[in-house]
Amino acid sequence: MTKNLHFLISIFQSNHLFHSQIMFQLQLLLSILTLSFAAQSKSSTSQFSILQSNHHPKPNLLSISVTKIGAAGDGVKYDTIPIQEAIDACSTIVSKHSRPCHVIFPPGKYLTATIFVKSGVVLDIHQKATILGGSKLEDYPKEQSRWYVILAEDAVDVGIIGGGEINGQGLKFVERFDDKKNVMVSWNHTGACLGDECRPRLVGFIGCRNIKVSGVRLIEPAYWCLHVVRSDKTSICDVTIYGNFNSPNNDGIDIEDSNNTIITRCNINTGDDAICPKSSNGPVYNLTATDCWIRTKSSAIKLGSASFYTFKNFLFDNITIVESHRGLALQIRDGGNVSDMIFSNINISTRYYYPSWWGRAEPIYVTTCPRDASSKAGSISNLLFVNITATSENGIFLSGSRGGVLNNLKFLNMNLTYKRWTKFSDGLVDYRPGCQELVKHQPAGFMMEHIDGLVVEDVVMKWSSDESMRWNNPLDFRPSTVNNISLLNFYSRSYQQQ
């Protein structure tokens, strides 16, 4: 806990510094700006107005409004060029002096192809403004790895703020609507990517440092929503994410190969994994997610499934998970090592939806089973789950593997209620992706295999005695590969459902 607090404080201090520096050097900055403009008077940037924003409580904030330089904001005409010009102007003028500049989006709808955010530039989207992502292939760069509506690459001190909306028009990418799972278009015919995960993401930060995403609504991504890759020091707060509940791959926040991330006060309601750290080409250190509300047809919190490197020092606190397909999931399939994770003060409800979505109503799911014969087994150790309340249609699943025993797991102060309220059949254990896929087996309160060191303390399990409840097995050791378990103050009892 203390470690995490230090980490929080250090990030907040650096953000604070970032802002006070801006204010402190403002006088100097404004005089430099005047000079820059005089020098550039023959270029097209001369028509740009650098405003002292009245949109912000902070006086004298340097900013450029996209409408002042020709953005139509009518949601029909592409505004890509004026938006990019505003970003480039902001960037050119201030980058020399490493001071930030805001690109303002006044009320309106701004249809755009990919826009590239540069160092020092913050997009400030008015509460009544929407940035609409294009839905055509030619709206995006050649390389599939750069298919985002908004993309920052190798930039520092970048952000998106202001209370407005970024909308990926995801519904335009649905080929066939289906309550179970929509069928999405694929741009794979270009050869840029394979299969049906071949659509643009909404917002991406790749190789960045000091990222701030605050107060915005990220709506209807065509694919993943907010993607942070190879980055350091990211703060994501007061962000609302809404994606179609039936669309696959509509992840909420994907933190990939990145360190020092704070996610707080977020509201995520979407089809696929809501908060999803991944280690594809590098480790993930120091991530905290607090005070969030989540509903998803997949996992609310998911580590993996890309898990080739270390995940270490994460804190998830004060999170509400509602009617999701899976709650807290560590799906380590590729040899990565996971350690020092705290999950505290979390309320979970999980239910069955449909078998083509991974997850089968498990409130907590921890596994190191390798993806396939060529994958190494990773390890998971030092997990603490404390103050957890769950109501779910399935039990807790803890499945290490021969080469990746789960080590030192603690479950403290938990109230678990098991009941059924949907009609999907149970009796299958879900090891997807890869591993053993779906396996016939009755569920259990805790299903355990390949574990060394497990403490269960002050845990109450309540079982609905309802007709629909065809299972009431509190503990399942399977196979008998479990060592050093301690149960203290552990109760299991049935109750009459109202």
Ligand X SMILES: *[C@@H]1O[C@H](CO)[C@@H](O)[C@H](O)[C@H]1NC(C)=O
**Counting beta carbons within 10 angstroms of the beta carbon of residue 419, is it exposed (0 to 12), middle (13 to 18) or buried (19 or more)?**
middle
Closer Cβ to ligand X, 153 or 196, answer by number: 196
From CA 355, how far away is CA 344, in angstroms rounded? 29
The reply on whether position 293 binds ligand X by CB under 6 A is yes
The reply on whether position 345 binds ligand X by CB under 6 A is yes
The reply on whether position 6 binds ligand X by CB under 6 A is yes
What is the phi/psi pair of residue 36, to 5°?
A: -55, -40
Q: Using CB under 6 A, which of the segments 74-82, 156-164, 225-233, 296-304 binds ligand X?
A: 225-233
Closer Cβ to ligand X, 102 or 326, answer by number: 326
Closer Cβ to ligand X, 51 or 455, answer by number: 455
Closer Cβ to ligand X, 291 or 466, answer by number: 291
Q: What does the per-residue mask of binding to ligand X show for 475-494, with x meaning CB under 6 A? A: ---------x----------
Residues 301 to 330: which contact ligand X by CB under 6 A?
Answer: 309-310, 313, 318-320
The reply on whether position 363 binds ligand X by CB under 6 A is no
The reply on whether position 403 binds ligand X by CB under 6 A is no
Size of the site for ligand X (CB under 6 A): 46
* Residue where the block lists tokens 């990926």: 168
Q: Which of 280, 389, 473, 494 binds ligand X (CB under 6 A)?
A: 389
Closer Cβ to ligand X, 2 or 41, answer by number: 2
DSSP track, 188-203: GGGSSS-TT--S-EEE
The reply on whether position 285 binds ligand X by CB under 6 A is yes
From CA 213, how far away is CA 125, in angstroms rounded? 11
- For residue 427, what are the contacts with CB-CB under 8 A and spacing of at least 6? 440, 441, 442, 443
SS3 content of the chain, % helix, strand, coil (to 5): 15, 45, 40
Contact predicate 348/391, CB 8 Å: yes
The reply on whether position 418 binds ligand X by CB under 6 A is no
Q: Tell the smallest beta-carbon distance from residue 3 to ligand X (Å).
A: 5
From CA 158, how far away is CA 140, in angstroms rounded? 21
* C-alpha distance from residue 116 to each of 202, 219, 301, 388, 452 (Å): 12, 19, 29, 41, 48
Q: Tell the smallest beta-carbon distance from residue 207 to ligand X (Å).
A: 8
Q: Tell the smallest beta-carbon distance from residue 458 to ligand X (Å).
A: 8
Closer Cβ to ligand X, 108 or 370, answer by number: 370
Residues 34 to 93: which contact ligand X by CB under 6 A?
Answer: none
Q: Which of 84, 235, 260, 331 binds ligand X (CB under 6 A)?
A: 260
From CA 261, how far away is CA 314, in angstroms rounded? 9
The reply on whether position 238 binds ligand X by CB under 6 A is no
**Nearest one of 168, 241, 165, 166 to 199, comparing CA atoms:** 168
Q: Tell the smallest beta-carbon distance from residue 134 to ligand X (Å).
A: 21
DSSP track, 41-67: TTSGGGGPPEEE-SSSSSTT-EEEETG
Q: Using CB under 6 A, which of the segments 47-55, 144-152, 171-179, 337-345 binds ligand X?
A: 337-345
Closer Cβ to ligand X, 136 or 440, answer by number: 136
Closer Cβ to ligand X, 293 or 397, answer by number: 293
The reply on whether position 3 binds ligand X by CB under 6 A is yes
Closer Cβ to ligand X, 29 or 454, answer by number: 454
Q: What does the per-residue mask of binding to ligand X show for 184-213, with x meaning CB under 6 A? A: --x-xx-----xx-----------------
The reply on whether position 413 binds ligand X by CB under 6 A is yes
Q: Tell the smallest beta-carbon distance from residue 92 to ligand X (Å).
A: 27
The reply on whether position 230 binds ligand X by CB under 6 A is yes
* Residue where the block lists tokens 């404390």: 386
For residue 45, give both structure tokens.
Answer: 């940037």
| 3-class secondary structure, 432 | coil
From CA 262, how far away is CA 292, in angstroms rounded? 12
**Nearest one of 293, 283, 236 to 259, comparing CA atoms:** 283
Q: Tell the smallest beta-carbon distance from residue 346 to ligand X (Å).
A: 6
Contact predicate 295/271, CB 8 Å: no
Q: Which residue type is seen at 272?
A: D
The reply on whether position 415 binds ligand X by CB under 6 A is yes
- For residue 339, what are the contacts with CB-CB under 8 A and spacing of at least 6? 310, 311, 312, 379, 380, 381, 382
The reply on whether position 340 binds ligand X by CB under 6 A is no
The reply on whether position 436 binds ligand X by CB under 6 A is no
Strands, E, within 332-377: which ranges?
337-350, 362-367
The reply on whether position 280 binds ligand X by CB under 6 A is no
The reply on whether position 386 binds ligand X by CB under 6 A is yes
| Footprint of ligand X (CB under 6 A) | 3, 6-7, 10, 186, 188-189, 195-196, 230-232, 257-260, 282-283, 285-286, 291, 293, 309-310, 313, 318-320, 335-337, 344-347, 379, 386-387, 389, 408, 413-415, 453, 455, 484
